[in-house]
Copies of this chain bind each other. A is one copy, B any other.
Amino acid sequence: MSNPSAYQKLRERFRESALVRTTNAALGWDQETYLPPLASDWRADQLAWLSGQQHRLTSAPEVGEWLAECEGSGHSLDTVESVNILGWRRDYDLATRLPGAFVEDLSRTTAQATHVWAEARKRSDFVHYRPMLEKIVKLVREKADLLGWQACRYDALLDEYEPGARTAEIAAVFAKLGPAQAALVGPASEVAERTPADSLAGEYPIEAQMAFNREVAEALGFDFESGRIDTTAHPFCTELGPQDTRLTTRYDGRDFLSSLYGVLHEVGHGLYNQGLNKSEWGLPAGEACSLGIHESQSRLWENHIGGSEAFWEHWMPRACHHFPNLKAFTPAQVAAAARRVAPSFIRVDADEVTYDLHIILRFEIEQRIINGDMEVADIPAAWNARFKELLGLDVPDDARGCLQDIHWSFGGFGYFATYSLGNLNASQLTRAARAAHPSLDSELARGHYATLLQWLRSNVHSHGRRFTAPDLMRQATGSPTGMDCHLDYLRAKFL
């Protein structure tokens, strides 16, 4: 490294920024888990202050000077150094396009909006939410314009979650994926109907669910010395530090599969975080590649591993230990219960066959809103009409329609598409891992997950932001994100 001084200053500055970002994440985690109801205004101000500080740290003029010094030195860099410098350049360029006051305003507005949204959803009252959503859409459009875009404004937002992704490219994939998956729904539903939806219904005490979930999470490789599981209305995973990964799930005393698959999903995210380069954690070389890659990790463990019959062959004795009434069932019956397919209203409860149709709907509406082709007031009608086309159901109320997701209230336009990219990536990565390790399936059947995890560590986790998502997929699987592999997987599993 030709100029350790400028590089070192950048390292220290972005490590400081990571301290602030994870402080923000810690307050955000607390907001979802334990915050008293009346404390949300103060919390919003704390979060806004932290967002402002983080923005100040990463957009200061000296950062630009240090970057120019590093980039102009002409000396050779090792991989970590060049990954960091390229990542900082991107982050700095994006940060300097947003004024600090704008960042704080957006943070404060979205912190308040999540409460307005939660209230509106409870009452299924879109009118109550509408002024707040209009405010957010205005801010998010402004943000996209500040960040800059070429083909369409929505590109600027997508790029935040999926660096380098373009609306047109994703739209092209979705244009084929939609009809192909829609065609699967009917036949897959017929197969699924052979297993009654409530076949496993019974008493599953929450304490027992917690114990079983923890046992499974540990077996998959999740390290509880540097992580934990709490309870929230919606499962999530957040990273509060290099050795502080917080997962959450939710419990239904009549359905242990709900909390378990929540945990399996979030464990996938958590393993990614725990597999990042610790000495570079919080710097580009130790950060996740994209949300579409992050989601591939959660869907891989949730669906490809946890949703397999092999998984239940292995775990059935431990499950019966925790839930004695399961003894009346075979592993195949439990796997079948987890494999139900039926069009439904709520995305987070949707099965794998219909899930991407929920995403396509959101992707379409978001583009129209952000590009200025639709007003916020028109969302419910547009949502319900398109839902009928895609999933064949009449949305009974906005709580089960356009009010169901938290994302818009935190300003996360552009986020949803990464869920489907994650599904596609998960199928491709699983196939590649199988190809690399012919004995993988027999290991998985014995509950040995170390080989798979090691493959993911080497091919995904350890790279940090070294590659773009398409390049990472190319390196790991031989081709960029596509839909064929995922459709093969769905057909094999559900037909």
Closest to A227 in B: B36
Residues of B within 8 A of A240 (CB): 39, 42
Total copies of the chain: 2
Whether a CB of chain B sits under 8 angstroms from the CB of A19 is: yes
Q: Scan residues 39-54 of chain A and give those whose CB is less than 8 A from a CB of chain B.
A: 39, 41-43, 45-46, 49-50, 53
Q: When each residue 1-37 of chain A gets 1 if its CB lies under 8 Å from chain B and 0 otherwise, what string results? A: 0000000000000001001101100110010001111
Residues of B within 8 A of A30 (CB): 26, 30
Whether a CB of chain B sits under 8 angstroms from the CB of A230 is: yes
The residue that A45 contacts in the complex, of B19, B27, B45, B230, with Cβ under 8 A, is: B19
Whether a CB of chain B sits under 8 angstroms from the CB of A287 is: no
Residues of B within 8 A of A34 (CB): 228, 230
Residues of B within 8 A of A38 (CB): 223, 225-226, 243-244
- Alpha-carbon distance A230/B35, docked complex (angstroms): 12
Whether a CB of chain B sits under 8 angstroms from the CB of A422 is: no
Residues of B within 8 A of A241 (CB): 39, 42-43, 46
- Alpha-carbon distance A142/B49, docked complex (angstroms): 32
Contact indicator B230/A39 (Cβ below 8 Å): no
Residues of B within 8 A of A16 (CB): 49
Residue from A27, A30, A50, A225 with most neighbouring chain B CB atoms (10 Å): A30
What is the CB-to-nearest-CB distance from A210 to chain B, in angstroms, rounded to a whole number? 15
Given A27-B26, A46-B19, A241-B43, is A36 in contact with B226 using a C-beta cutoff of 8 Å? yes
What is the CB-to-nearest-CB distance from A462 to chain B, in angstroms, rounded to a whole number? 19
- Alpha-carbon distance A38/B225, docked complex (angstroms): 6
Residue from A35, A42, A227 with most neighbouring chain B CB atoms (10 Å): A42
15 more CB-based (< 8 A) A-B contacts, given A23-B49, A26-B27:
A19-B42, A19-B49, A22-B42, A23-B23, A26-B30, A26-B46, A36-B224, A36-B244, A37-B225, A38-B225, A38-B244, A39-B226, A39-B244, A42-B241, A42-B243
In the A-B complex, list the 5 residue pairs whose CB atoms are closest, starting with the nearest.
A42-B241, A39-B244, A38-B243, A38-B226, A38-B225
